Homo-oligomer: A and B are copies of this chain.
Amino acid sequence: MTLYLEDKPNDECGVFGIYGKGVDVAKYTYYGLYGLQHRGQESAGIAVGNGDKIELYKNLGLVSEVFDETILGSLKGYISVGHVRYSTTGSNSVINAQPLMFRYLQGSVAIAHNGNLTNAQKMRRSLAHNGSVFQSSSDTEIFINQIAQYGQDTIEDALMKCMIDIKGAYSLVIMTEDKLIGVRDPHGVRPLCIGKRGDAYILSSESCALDCIGADFIRDVEPGEIVIINEKGIQSLKPMMERKRALCVFELVYVARPDSIIDGVSVNKARREMGKQLFREYPIEADCIVPVPDSGIAAAIGYSQESGIPYKFGLMKNRYIGRTFIQPTQELRDIAVSLKLNPIREDLEGQRVVLVDDSIVRGTTSRKIVKMLRKAGVKEIHLVVSSPEIIFPCYYGIDTSDKNELIAANMKLEEMKKSIGVESLHFISLEGMLSACERDPGDFCAACFNGHYPVEVTDQNISKYDLEGGKV
Protein backbone atom coordinates (compact mmCIF):
# COMPACT_ATOMS: atom_id res chain seq x y z
CA MET A 1 0.00 0.00 0.00
CA THR A 2 2.64 2.42 1.06
CA LEU A 3 4.56 1.47 -2.04
CA TYR A 4 2.68 4.01 -4.13
CA LEU A 5 2.44 6.68 -1.60
CA GLU A 6 5.84 6.55 -0.08
CA ASP A 7 6.91 9.82 -1.55
CA LYS A 8 3.62 11.64 -1.80
CA PRO A 9 1.94 13.77 0.80
CA ASN A 10 -0.91 11.94 2.46
CA ASP A 11 -4.20 13.56 3.17
CA GLU A 12 -5.76 12.30 6.33
CA CYS A 13 -9.42 11.70 5.60
CA GLY A 14 -12.64 11.93 3.70
CA VAL A 15 -15.95 12.70 5.42
CA PHE A 16 -19.52 12.13 4.30
CA GLY A 17 -23.00 12.51 5.77
CA ILE A 18 -26.59 12.14 4.64
CA TYR A 19 -30.02 12.96 6.08
CA GLY A 20 -32.93 11.39 4.27
CA LYS A 21 -36.11 9.85 5.55
CA GLY A 22 -37.14 6.73 3.68
CA VAL A 23 -33.72 6.39 2.14
CA ASP A 24 -31.20 3.57 2.68
CA VAL A 25 -28.69 6.01 4.12
CA ALA A 26 -26.08 3.37 4.97
CA LYS A 27 -25.86 2.33 1.33
CA TYR A 28 -25.57 5.90 0.10
CA THR A 29 -22.81 6.51 2.60
CA TYR A 30 -21.09 3.35 1.42
CA TYR A 31 -21.08 4.54 -2.19
CA GLY A 32 -20.19 8.08 -1.13
CA LEU A 33 -17.18 6.83 0.83
CA TYR A 34 -16.24 4.71 -2.12
CA GLY A 35 -16.07 7.92 -4.14
CA LEU A 36 -13.83 9.43 -1.46
CA GLN A 37 -11.62 6.34 -1.14
CA HIS A 38 -8.64 8.20 -2.68
CA ARG A 39 -8.56 10.35 0.48
CA GLY A 40 -7.87 7.43 2.79
CA GLN A 41 -7.41 3.68 2.44
CA GLU A 42 -6.55 2.62 5.98
CA SER A 43 -9.94 2.42 7.64
CA ALA A 44 -13.60 3.03 6.92
CA GLY A 45 -16.63 3.54 9.13
CA ILE A 46 -20.32 4.30 8.97
CA ALA A 47 -22.65 5.44 11.78
CA VAL A 48 -26.41 5.37 11.25
CA GLY A 49 -29.12 6.87 13.43
CA ASN A 50 -32.83 6.19 13.40
CA GLY A 51 -33.95 9.10 15.56
CA ASP A 52 -33.65 6.96 18.63
CA LYS A 53 -30.19 5.51 18.69
CA ILE A 54 -27.00 5.40 16.66
CA GLU A 55 -25.29 2.23 15.39
CA LEU A 56 -21.68 2.30 14.27
CA TYR A 57 -19.47 -0.07 12.29
CA LYS A 58 -15.86 0.60 11.38
CA ASN A 59 -12.75 -1.42 10.68
CA LEU A 60 -9.37 -1.36 8.96
CA GLY A 61 -9.46 -1.74 5.17
CA LEU A 62 -11.02 -0.32 2.04
CA VAL A 63 -14.71 0.56 2.07
CA SER A 64 -15.41 -2.52 -0.03
CA GLU A 65 -13.44 -4.71 2.35
CA VAL A 66 -14.89 -3.34 5.60
CA PHE A 67 -18.56 -3.62 4.70
CA ASP A 68 -20.65 -6.48 3.41
CA GLU A 69 -24.37 -6.79 2.78
CA THR A 70 -25.04 -8.12 6.27
CA ILE A 71 -23.28 -5.26 8.03
CA LEU A 72 -24.81 -2.60 5.81
CA GLY A 73 -28.21 -4.21 6.23
CA SER A 74 -27.92 -3.94 10.00
CA LEU A 75 -27.35 -0.18 9.85
CA LYS A 76 -30.92 1.08 9.63
CA GLY A 77 -32.02 4.68 9.97
CA TYR A 78 -32.30 8.01 8.22
CA ILE A 79 -29.14 9.85 9.25
CA SER A 80 -25.66 8.62 8.49
CA VAL A 81 -22.08 9.76 8.89
CA GLY A 82 -19.11 8.08 7.19
CA HIS A 83 -15.37 8.38 7.17
CA VAL A 84 -12.32 7.05 5.34
CA ARG A 85 -8.92 7.51 6.91
CA TYR A 86 -5.35 7.46 5.82
CA SER A 87 -2.54 7.07 8.27
CA THR A 88 1.12 6.24 8.11
CA THR A 89 2.20 2.81 9.27
CA GLY A 90 2.57 2.35 12.99
CA SER A 91 -0.58 3.86 14.24
CA ASN A 92 -2.91 1.83 12.09
CA SER A 93 -5.25 0.59 14.74
CA VAL A 94 -9.01 0.30 14.67
CA ILE A 95 -9.07 2.50 17.78
CA ASN A 96 -8.19 5.46 15.59
CA ALA A 97 -10.78 4.61 12.93
CA GLN A 98 -13.68 7.02 12.59
CA PRO A 99 -16.49 8.05 12.97
CA LEU A 100 -16.05 8.31 16.72
CA MET A 101 -19.23 7.87 18.70
CA PHE A 102 -19.92 9.14 22.20
CA ARG A 103 -22.63 9.94 24.68
CA TYR A 104 -22.58 13.02 26.85
CA LEU A 105 -25.03 15.10 28.77
CA GLN A 106 -27.10 15.97 25.69
CA GLY A 107 -27.24 12.50 24.17
CA SER A 108 -25.45 10.45 21.55
CA VAL A 109 -23.23 11.90 18.83
CA ALA A 110 -21.14 10.47 15.99
CA ILE A 111 -18.41 12.59 14.47
CA ALA A 112 -16.14 12.36 11.40
CA HIS A 113 -13.22 14.73 10.99
CA ASN A 114 -10.87 15.72 8.16
CA GLY A 115 -7.99 18.01 9.09
CA ASN A 116 -5.56 18.69 11.85
CA LEU A 117 -5.69 20.90 14.93
CA THR A 118 -2.91 23.33 15.73
CA ASN A 119 -3.49 23.86 19.42
CA ALA A 120 -4.13 20.21 20.17
CA GLN A 121 -1.45 19.89 22.84
CA LYS A 122 -2.69 22.94 24.68
CA MET A 123 -6.31 21.86 24.41
CA ARG A 124 -5.52 18.33 25.52
CA ARG A 125 -3.62 19.57 28.54
CA SER A 126 -6.37 21.95 29.49
CA LEU A 127 -9.06 19.30 29.06
CA ALA A 128 -7.04 16.79 31.07
CA HIS A 129 -6.87 19.32 33.89
CA ASN A 130 -10.65 19.29 33.82
CA GLY A 131 -10.74 15.51 34.02
CA SER A 132 -11.07 14.55 30.38
CA VAL A 133 -9.72 11.23 29.15
CA PHE A 134 -8.44 10.33 25.68
CA GLN A 135 -8.88 6.84 24.28
CA SER A 136 -7.13 7.33 20.93
CA SER A 137 -4.43 9.51 19.42
CA SER A 138 -6.98 11.28 17.26
CA ASP A 139 -7.41 15.06 17.44
CA THR A 140 -11.10 14.45 17.09
CA GLU A 141 -11.38 13.52 20.75
CA ILE A 142 -10.53 17.14 21.53
CA PHE A 143 -13.73 18.20 19.81
CA ILE A 144 -15.63 15.50 21.64
CA ASN A 145 -14.36 16.47 25.06
CA GLN A 146 -14.70 20.17 24.44
CA ILE A 147 -18.30 19.70 23.29
CA ALA A 148 -18.90 17.80 26.53
CA GLN A 149 -17.43 20.66 28.53
CA TYR A 150 -20.31 22.68 27.14
CA GLY A 151 -22.71 19.90 28.04
CA GLN A 152 -25.34 22.30 29.36
CA ASP A 153 -25.55 23.97 25.95
CA THR A 154 -27.28 22.77 22.82
CA ILE A 155 -24.94 21.06 20.41
CA GLU A 156 -25.10 24.09 18.12
CA ASP A 157 -24.05 26.46 20.90
CA ALA A 158 -21.36 24.04 22.01
CA LEU A 159 -19.97 23.87 18.48
CA MET A 160 -19.89 27.65 18.17
CA LYS A 161 -17.93 27.88 21.40
CA CYS A 162 -15.59 25.09 20.26
CA MET A 163 -14.82 27.08 17.11
CA ILE A 164 -13.51 29.83 19.37
CA ASP A 165 -11.41 27.46 21.50
CA ILE A 166 -10.02 25.09 18.91
CA LYS A 167 -7.57 26.21 16.25
CA GLY A 168 -6.65 24.35 13.11
CA ALA A 169 -8.03 22.83 9.97
CA TYR A 170 -11.23 20.88 10.29
CA SER A 171 -14.13 19.80 8.21
CA LEU A 172 -16.53 17.95 10.47
CA VAL A 173 -19.61 15.90 9.73
CA ILE A 174 -21.56 15.27 12.92
CA MET A 175 -24.80 13.52 13.73
CA THR A 176 -26.94 13.54 16.82
CA GLU A 177 -29.97 11.33 17.21
CA ASP A 178 -32.02 13.68 15.03
CA LYS A 179 -29.83 15.98 12.99
CA LEU A 180 -26.87 16.10 10.66
CA ILE A 181 -24.37 18.91 11.13
CA GLY A 182 -21.49 20.13 8.96
CA VAL A 183 -18.74 22.38 10.25
CA ARG A 184 -15.88 23.96 8.29
CA ASP A 185 -13.07 25.80 10.03
CA PRO A 186 -12.96 29.62 9.81
CA HIS A 187 -10.27 29.57 7.12
CA GLY A 188 -11.81 26.78 5.11
CA VAL A 189 -8.56 24.84 4.85
CA ARG A 190 -10.21 21.50 4.09
CA PRO A 191 -13.10 21.25 1.62
CA LEU A 192 -16.71 20.40 2.48
CA CYS A 193 -19.73 20.69 0.22
CA ILE A 194 -23.49 20.19 0.26
CA GLY A 195 -25.52 18.07 -2.15
CA LYS A 196 -29.08 16.92 -2.61
CA ARG A 197 -30.72 13.85 -4.05
CA GLY A 198 -34.50 13.87 -3.94
CA ASP A 199 -35.35 15.07 -0.44
CA ALA A 200 -32.11 13.85 1.06
CA TYR A 201 -29.32 16.27 1.94
CA ILE A 202 -25.69 15.23 1.71
CA LEU A 203 -22.41 16.58 3.12
CA SER A 204 -19.16 15.48 1.49
CA SER A 205 -15.46 16.31 1.44
CA GLU A 206 -15.58 16.45 -2.34
CA SER A 207 -18.22 16.88 -5.00
CA CYS A 208 -17.11 13.69 -6.79
CA ALA A 209 -18.87 11.67 -4.08
CA LEU A 210 -22.11 13.47 -4.92
CA ASP A 211 -21.75 12.33 -8.53
CA CYS A 212 -21.19 8.79 -7.30
CA ILE A 213 -24.61 8.68 -5.71
CA GLY A 214 -26.41 10.70 -8.36
CA ALA A 215 -26.84 13.76 -6.14
CA ASP A 216 -26.74 17.37 -7.27
CA PHE A 217 -24.11 19.77 -6.00
CA ILE A 218 -25.76 22.61 -4.05
CA ARG A 219 -22.89 24.70 -2.73
CA ASP A 220 -19.72 24.55 -0.62
CA VAL A 221 -19.99 24.94 3.12
CA GLU A 222 -18.48 28.36 3.77
CA PRO A 223 -15.38 28.83 5.91
CA GLY A 224 -16.52 29.23 9.49
CA GLU A 225 -20.03 27.99 8.70
CA ILE A 226 -22.11 25.49 10.64
CA VAL A 227 -24.93 23.86 8.65
CA ILE A 228 -27.69 22.02 10.47
CA ILE A 229 -29.82 19.56 8.54
CA ASN A 230 -32.99 18.14 10.04
CA GLU A 231 -36.60 17.64 9.12
CA LYS A 232 -36.99 21.39 8.60
CA GLY A 233 -34.28 21.38 5.93
CA ILE A 234 -30.97 23.25 6.06
CA GLN A 235 -30.11 26.04 8.47
CA SER A 236 -26.87 27.98 8.50
CA LEU A 237 -24.96 29.52 11.40
CA LYS A 238 -21.97 31.80 10.94
CA PRO A 239 -20.78 32.55 14.41
CA MET A 240 -17.29 33.69 13.54
CA MET A 241 -15.99 36.99 12.29
CA GLU A 242 -14.88 36.46 8.71
CA ARG A 243 -11.25 35.38 8.34
CA LYS A 244 -8.90 35.11 5.43
CA ARG A 245 -9.87 32.21 3.22
CA ALA A 246 -7.14 29.60 3.09
CA LEU A 247 -8.13 26.56 1.05
CA CYS A 248 -5.23 24.12 0.98
CA VAL A 249 -3.80 24.45 -2.52
CA PHE A 250 -2.52 20.89 -2.26
CA GLU A 251 -6.10 19.71 -2.52
CA LEU A 252 -6.02 21.08 -6.07
CA VAL A 253 -2.47 19.93 -6.84
CA TYR A 254 -2.66 16.37 -5.58
CA VAL A 255 -5.24 15.30 -3.03
CA ALA A 256 -8.64 15.76 -4.67
CA ARG A 257 -10.09 13.75 -7.50
CA PRO A 258 -9.88 15.53 -10.88
CA ASP A 259 -13.64 15.43 -11.35
CA SER A 260 -14.27 17.37 -8.12
CA ILE A 261 -15.00 21.08 -7.97
CA ILE A 262 -13.78 22.71 -4.76
CA ASP A 263 -14.77 26.22 -3.74
CA GLY A 264 -15.61 26.90 -7.36
CA VAL A 265 -12.36 25.58 -8.76
CA SER A 266 -12.32 22.58 -11.11
CA VAL A 267 -9.51 20.35 -9.97
CA ASN A 268 -8.92 19.02 -13.45
CA LYS A 269 -8.79 22.47 -14.99
CA ALA A 270 -6.46 23.79 -12.31
CA ARG A 271 -4.06 20.94 -12.95
CA ARG A 272 -4.21 21.34 -16.70
CA GLU A 273 -3.61 25.06 -16.36
CA MET A 274 -0.64 24.35 -14.10
CA GLY A 275 0.75 22.20 -16.91
CA LYS A 276 0.24 25.01 -19.40
CA GLN A 277 1.83 27.50 -17.04
CA LEU A 278 4.78 25.15 -16.58
CA PHE A 279 5.45 25.32 -20.31
CA ARG A 280 5.14 29.09 -20.30
CA GLU A 281 7.67 29.22 -17.50
CA TYR A 282 9.90 26.44 -18.84
CA PRO A 283 9.52 25.98 -22.59
CA ILE A 284 11.61 22.84 -22.98
CA GLU A 285 12.53 21.38 -26.34
CA ALA A 286 11.63 17.71 -26.25
CA ASP A 287 10.11 14.83 -28.19
CA CYS A 288 7.28 13.93 -25.86
CA ILE A 289 5.46 14.66 -22.62
CA VAL A 290 5.00 11.79 -20.16
CA PRO A 291 3.06 12.04 -16.88
CA VAL A 292 3.84 10.30 -13.63
CA PRO A 293 0.48 8.55 -13.23
CA ASP A 294 -2.11 9.24 -11.97
CA SER A 295 -1.74 12.66 -10.40
CA GLY A 296 0.55 14.08 -13.11
CA ILE A 297 -1.78 13.26 -16.00
CA ALA A 298 -3.82 16.48 -16.15
CA ALA A 299 -0.76 18.73 -15.91
CA ALA A 300 1.02 16.67 -18.58
CA ILE A 301 -1.95 17.11 -20.90
CA GLY A 302 -1.77 20.86 -20.26
CA TYR A 303 1.95 21.01 -20.96
CA SER A 304 1.44 19.03 -24.15
CA GLN A 305 -1.37 21.30 -25.33
CA GLU A 306 0.50 24.50 -24.63
CA SER A 307 3.73 23.24 -26.18
CA GLY A 308 2.39 21.18 -29.04
CA ILE A 309 4.76 18.40 -28.02
CA PRO A 310 3.05 15.00 -28.23
CA TYR A 311 1.59 13.52 -25.06
CA LYS A 312 2.54 9.90 -24.49
CA PHE A 313 1.45 7.05 -22.25
CA GLY A 314 5.05 6.29 -21.20
CA LEU A 315 4.46 4.79 -17.76
CA MET A 316 2.04 2.02 -16.90
CA LYS A 317 0.70 1.83 -13.35
CA ASN A 318 -0.26 -1.53 -11.87
CA ARG A 319 -3.72 -1.35 -10.32
CA TYR A 320 -3.66 -4.56 -8.37
CA ILE A 321 -1.43 -3.86 -5.38
CA GLY A 322 -3.57 -4.42 -2.31
CA ARG A 323 -3.14 -4.07 1.44
CA THR A 324 -1.73 -7.54 1.72
CA PHE A 325 0.82 -7.22 -1.06
CA ILE A 326 4.14 -8.82 -0.08
CA GLN A 327 6.97 -6.33 -0.33
CA PRO A 328 10.08 -7.58 -2.12
CA THR A 329 12.89 -8.69 0.15
CA GLN A 330 16.50 -7.67 -0.27
CA GLU A 331 17.21 -10.09 -3.10
CA LEU A 332 14.47 -8.48 -5.15
CA ARG A 333 14.80 -4.92 -3.92
CA ASP A 334 15.82 -3.77 -7.39
CA ILE A 335 12.45 -4.71 -8.80
CA ALA A 336 10.38 -2.84 -6.23
CA VAL A 337 9.61 0.11 -8.44
CA SER A 338 8.83 -2.15 -11.45
CA LEU A 339 5.98 -3.64 -9.52
CA LYS A 340 3.99 -0.46 -9.33
CA LEU A 341 5.15 1.38 -12.40
CA ASN A 342 6.40 0.07 -15.73
CA PRO A 343 7.97 2.01 -18.57
CA ILE A 344 6.49 1.51 -22.01
CA ARG A 345 9.80 1.25 -23.81
CA GLU A 346 8.28 1.85 -27.22
CA ASP A 347 7.17 5.31 -26.13
CA LEU A 348 10.47 6.19 -24.54
CA GLU A 349 13.45 4.73 -26.36
CA GLY A 350 15.75 7.41 -27.74
CA GLN A 351 13.35 10.16 -26.71
CA ARG A 352 13.89 13.50 -25.04
CA VAL A 353 11.14 13.35 -22.43
CA VAL A 354 9.42 16.03 -20.36
CA LEU A 355 8.31 14.09 -17.28
CA VAL A 356 5.47 15.81 -15.43
CA ASP A 357 4.88 15.18 -11.74
CA ASP A 358 2.61 17.05 -9.35
CA SER A 359 5.01 17.42 -6.45
CA ILE A 360 8.31 16.27 -5.03
CA VAL A 361 8.49 15.53 -1.32
CA ARG A 362 11.55 13.45 -0.50
CA GLY A 363 12.67 12.79 -4.06
CA THR A 364 13.13 9.07 -3.54
CA THR A 365 10.45 7.93 -5.95
CA SER A 366 11.56 10.46 -8.59
CA ARG A 367 15.03 9.00 -8.42
CA LYS A 368 13.72 5.47 -8.99
CA ILE A 369 11.50 6.50 -11.87
CA VAL A 370 14.36 8.33 -13.53
CA LYS A 371 16.59 5.28 -13.21
CA MET A 372 13.88 3.14 -14.72
CA LEU A 373 13.40 5.54 -17.63
CA ARG A 374 17.13 5.55 -18.33
CA LYS A 375 17.09 1.77 -18.45
CA ALA A 376 14.23 2.00 -20.95
CA GLY A 377 16.47 4.03 -23.25
CA VAL A 378 15.29 7.59 -22.62
CA LYS A 379 17.82 10.08 -23.99
CA GLU A 380 17.00 13.17 -21.93
CA ILE A 381 14.73 13.61 -18.93
CA HIS A 382 13.37 17.04 -18.05
CA LEU A 383 11.38 16.80 -14.85
CA VAL A 384 8.79 19.56 -14.46
CA VAL A 385 6.73 19.77 -11.29
CA SER A 386 3.33 21.41 -11.07
CA SER A 387 3.88 22.66 -7.54
CA PRO A 388 6.77 24.72 -6.12
CA GLU A 389 9.47 23.43 -3.82
CA ILE A 390 7.98 22.15 -0.53
CA ILE A 391 10.14 23.62 2.19
CA PHE A 392 7.84 24.01 5.19
CA PRO A 393 5.92 21.39 7.11
CA CYS A 394 2.12 21.26 7.01
CA TYR A 395 0.26 21.52 10.31
CA TYR A 396 -3.18 21.31 8.75
CA GLY A 397 -3.59 17.67 7.85
CA ILE A 398 -1.32 16.91 4.90
CA ASP A 399 1.18 14.36 6.07
CA THR A 400 4.35 15.54 4.34
CA SER A 401 7.49 14.19 5.91
CA ASP A 402 9.18 16.34 8.50
CA LYS A 403 11.47 19.12 7.40
CA ASN A 404 14.62 17.02 7.54
CA GLU A 405 13.25 14.74 4.88
CA LEU A 406 11.95 17.40 2.49
CA ILE A 407 14.46 17.35 -0.37
CA ALA A 408 13.80 20.98 -1.36
CA ALA A 409 14.35 22.14 2.21
CA ASN A 410 17.78 20.61 2.23
CA MET A 411 19.16 20.98 -1.28
CA LYS A 412 19.51 23.69 -3.87
CA LEU A 413 17.89 23.17 -7.25
CA GLU A 414 21.18 22.17 -8.88
CA GLU A 415 21.85 19.60 -6.17
CA MET A 416 18.37 18.21 -6.46
CA LYS A 417 18.77 17.90 -10.21
CA LYS A 418 21.90 15.87 -9.72
CA SER A 419 20.46 13.84 -6.89
CA ILE A 420 17.44 12.88 -8.93
CA GLY A 421 19.57 12.45 -12.03
CA VAL A 422 17.78 14.50 -14.67
CA GLU A 423 18.98 16.81 -17.43
CA SER A 424 16.85 19.59 -16.00
CA LEU A 425 14.46 20.08 -13.09
CA HIS A 426 11.87 22.82 -12.90
CA PHE A 427 9.30 23.71 -10.29
CA ILE A 428 6.37 25.91 -11.19
CA SER A 429 6.50 29.35 -9.56
CA LEU A 430 4.16 29.95 -6.63
CA GLU A 431 2.42 32.71 -8.55
CA GLY A 432 2.19 30.51 -11.61
CA MET A 433 0.57 27.71 -9.65
CA LEU A 434 -1.91 29.99 -7.92
CA SER A 435 -2.79 31.77 -11.16
CA ALA A 436 -3.92 28.41 -12.53
CA CYS A 437 -6.53 28.08 -9.81
CA GLU A 438 -9.31 30.42 -10.96
CA ARG A 439 -9.61 32.26 -7.65
CA ASP A 440 -7.94 35.16 -5.95
CA PRO A 441 -4.45 33.84 -5.09
CA GLY A 442 -5.00 35.20 -1.59
CA ASP A 443 -7.74 32.63 -1.03
CA PHE A 444 -5.32 29.74 -0.64
CA CYS A 445 -3.07 28.32 2.01
CA ALA A 446 0.35 27.74 0.48
CA ALA A 447 2.24 27.52 3.74
CA CYS A 448 4.23 24.45 2.73
CA PHE A 449 5.69 26.56 -0.09
CA ASN A 450 5.96 30.01 1.47
CA GLY A 451 5.80 29.48 5.23
CA HIS A 452 2.83 31.84 5.66
CA TYR A 453 0.66 29.91 8.07
CA PRO A 454 -2.83 31.37 7.94
CA VAL A 455 -4.00 29.52 11.04
CA GLU A 456 -2.20 30.08 14.29
CA VAL A 457 0.03 27.14 15.30
CA THR A 458 0.33 26.89 19.06
CA ASP A 459 1.85 23.47 19.34
CA GLN A 460 5.54 23.19 18.65
CA ASN A 461 7.32 20.22 17.22
CA ILE A 462 4.02 18.71 16.30
CA SER A 463 4.32 15.11 15.39
CA LYS A 464 1.49 12.70 15.15
CA TYR A 465 3.42 10.31 17.34
CA ASP A 466 3.68 12.75 20.18
CA LEU A 467 0.21 11.76 21.05
CA GLU A 468 0.84 8.12 21.58
CA GLY A 469 2.07 6.47 24.68
CA GLY A 470 3.01 9.42 26.78
CA LYS A 471 1.22 11.77 29.07
CA VAL A 472 -1.36 14.12 27.73
The interface residues of chain B lying within 8 Å CB-to-CB of A328 are 27, 31
A residues 259-312 in Cβ contact with B at 8 Å? 259, 261, 266, 268-269, 272, 297-298, 301, 304-305, 310-312
Provide the bound-state CA to CA distance between A374 and B183, in Å.
34
Instruction: Choose one: B52, B69, B132, B343; the contact of A132 (CB below 8 Å).
Output: B132
Instruction: Choose one: B24, B62, B272, B312; the contact of A322 (CB below 8 Å).
Output: B62
For A311, give the chain B residue with the smallest CB separation: B311
Interface centre among A69, A100, A132, A329, by most B CB within 10 Å? Answer: A132
For A52, give the chain B residue with the smallest CB separation: B469
Q: Does A102 contact B (CB under 8 A)?
A: yes
Instruction: Choose one: B37, B301, B471; the contact of A107 (CB below 8 Å).
Output: B471
For A134, give the chain B residue with the smallest CB separation: B103
Q: Does A64 contact B (CB under 8 A)?
A: yes
Judging by beta carbons under 8 Å apart, are B134 and A105 in contact? no
For A109, give the chain B residue with the smallest CB separation: B133
Which residues of A line the B interface, CB within 8 A?
24, 27-28, 30-31, 34-35, 37-38, 41, 52-54, 56, 62-65, 67-69, 72, 93-95, 100-108, 128-135, 144-145, 147-151, 177, 208, 211-214, 257-259, 261, 266, 268-269, 272, 297-298, 301, 304-305, 310-313, 316, 318-326, 328-329, 331-332, 334-335, 338-339, 342-347, 468-472
Instruction: Choose one: B148, B151, B312; the contact of A301 (CB below 8 Å).
Output: B312
Provide the bound-state CA to CA distance between A345 and B266, in Å.
9
Judging by beta carbons under 8 Å apart, are A131 and B134 in contact? no
Judging by beta carbons under 8 Å apart, are B27 and A329 in contact? yes
Judging by beta carbons under 8 Å apart, are A346 and B104 in contact? no
Given A268-B346, A313-B301, A338-B211, A53-B326 contact (CB < 8 Å)? no
Judging by beta carbons under 8 Å apart, are B298 and A304 in contact? no
The interface residues of chain B lying within 8 Å CB-to-CB of A67 are 326
Shortest CB-to-CB span from A338 to chain B, Å, is: 5
Judging by beta carbons under 8 Å apart, are B324 and A68 in contact? yes
Provide the bound-state CA to CA distance between A28 and B338, in Å.
13
The interface residues of chain B lying within 8 Å CB-to-CB of A145 are 131, 133
Instruction: Choose one: B101, B103, B320; the contact of A62 (CB below 8 Å).
Output: B320
Judging by beta carbons under 8 Å apart, are A24 and B331 in contact? yes
Judging by beta carbons under 8 Å apart, are A151 and B135 in contact? no
Instruction: Choose one: B131, B301, B329; the contact of A311 (CB below 8 Å).
Output: B301
Judging by beta carbons under 8 Å apart, are B34 and A339 in contact? yes
Instruction: Choose one: B31, B65, B147, B471; the contact of A339 (CB below 8 Å).
Output: B31
Interface centre among A69, A177, A324, A468, by most B CB within 10 Å? Answer: A324
Judging by beta carbons under 8 Å apart, are B64 and A316 in contact? no
Judging by beta carbons under 8 Å apart, are A298 and B313 in contact? yes
Shortest CB-to-CB span from A272 to chain B, Å, is: 8
Judging by beta carbons under 8 Å apart, are A469 and B339 in contact? no
Judging by beta carbons under 8 Å apart, are B148 and A128 in contact? yes
Interface centre among A103, A301, A313, A335, by most B CB within 10 Å? Answer: A103
Interface centre among A211, A269, A312, A343, by most B CB within 10 Å? Answer: A211
Shortest CB-to-CB span from A232 to chain B, Å, is: 22
Judging by beta carbons under 8 Å apart, are A326 and B212 in contact? no
Shortest CB-to-CB span from A43 to chain B, Å, is: 13
Provide the bound-state CA to CA distance between A68 and B69, in Å.
14
The list of the 5 closest CB pairs from A to B, nearest first, reads A53-B469, A266-B346, A105-B128, A131-B149, A37-B320
Judging by beta carbons under 8 Å apart, are B320 and A469 in contact? no
The interface residues of chain B lying within 8 Å CB-to-CB of A301 are 310-313
Judging by beta carbons under 8 Å apart, are A34 and B320 in contact? yes
For A334, give the chain B residue with the smallest CB separation: B214
For A312, give the chain B residue with the smallest CB separation: B301
Can you give 26 contacting A-B residue pairs, CB < 8 Å? A27-B328, A28-B332, A31-B328, A31-B335, A34-B321, A34-B339, A41-B320, A53-B469, A64-B321, A101-B135, A102-B133, A103-B128, A105-B129, A105-B471, A106-B471, A128-B151, A131-B132, A135-B135, A208-B316, A213-B335, A214-B332, A214-B338, A258-B316, A259-B342, A268-B313, A322-B322
